[in-house]
Amino acid sequence: MTRTNHDLTNISLQDAGKRFNREWIFRHCNCVFEIGKRYAITGPNGSGKSTLLQAIAGSLQISQGEVQWQAPNQSIIALEKVYQYLGIAAPYLELIEEMTAKEFLSFHAQFKPLMSLVSIDEILSLIGLEKAIHKQIRYFSSGMKQRIKLAQAIFSNTPVLLLDEPCTNLDATGYALYHKLIANYCNNKLIIVSSNEPQEFDFCTNIIRIQDYK
């Protein structure tokens, strides 16, 4: 059973929209993401899935409407504090390649605690990188780098997990590992996956089609 270090009820988008110049990426989006449930944001490449995910994360200012993170006492969590509640893995988030895998996870844990039920050495073993524990990330293959990205997101002690194209650069073994980590360590988390690859979100029971908000 996963325990998180912050309480959260839901994330809601109210008439939310984002545009760049005169082009709307999405608009009139009214969605509620409830803790413990699993959602997929789907749509063709370039359709705005990542933009919507970044808006949900509070890392992108929207052009209209509101994004609200709600605590159990009905209070609204300030957007500048939202990062404390989420783990995220995405292609546009870079690793510190001068660090080793162990150094990177230790550094990350200083700002966002990892789950207490597993040590960093155990995490690296779980993702198949125990033999590369002291190897600089710059020498990792693209698949190894993706495993580290997933590890720092999945094992963060947070109630929300945001995943943008989570199996990028992973082979069949990597896909299997991804599903195993989700099944074993994310039972109580709110998970939102941005992808157009069904194998990345086949465990999601709620589908949001970005085309519905054009």
Question: 74-100 burial string, b = 16+ CB within 10 Å, else e?
Answer: eeebeeeebeebbbbbbeeeebeeebb
Query: How many domains does the chain divide into?
Result: 1
Does 1 reside within a domain?
Answer: no
Beta bridge partners of 39: 192, 206
43 touches 208 (CB < 8 A): no
Mean pLDDT, rounded, for 16-25: 95
Q: What's the pLDDT tens digit per position in 149-203? A: 999 999 999 999 999 999 999 999 999 999 999 999 999 999 999 999 999 999 9
pLDDT attached to residue 7: 85
**pLDDT band at residue 74 using 50, 70 and 90 as cut-offs:** confident
pLDDT over 90 percentage in the chain: 94
Does 5 reside within a domain?
Answer: no
Query: Is the pLDDT confidence value at 131 over 90?
Result: yes
Domain interval for residue 37: 10-213
pLDDT attached to residue 79: 86
Query: Is the pLDDT confidence value at 2 over 50?
Result: no
**pLDDT band at residue 1 using 50, 70 and 90 as cut-offs:** very low
Separation between Cα atoms, residue 150 and residue 147, nearest integer Å: 5
Does 4 reside within a domain?
Answer: no
Residues sharing a CB contact under 8 Å with residue 75, sequence separation 6 or more, in sequence order? none
pLDDT attached to residue 44: 93
Query: Is the pLDDT confidence value at 87 over 60?
Result: yes
Separation between Cα atoms, residue 77 and residue 24, nearest integer Å: 27
Query: Is the pLDDT confidence value at 4 over 80?
Result: no
Does 203 reside within a domain?
Answer: yes
CA dihedral sign, ordered 111, 34, 193, 123? positive
Does 3 reside within a domain?
Answer: no
CATH number at residue 48: 3.40.50.300
Mean pLDDT, rounded, for 77-89: 93
Query: Is the pLDDT confidence value at 26 over 90?
Result: yes
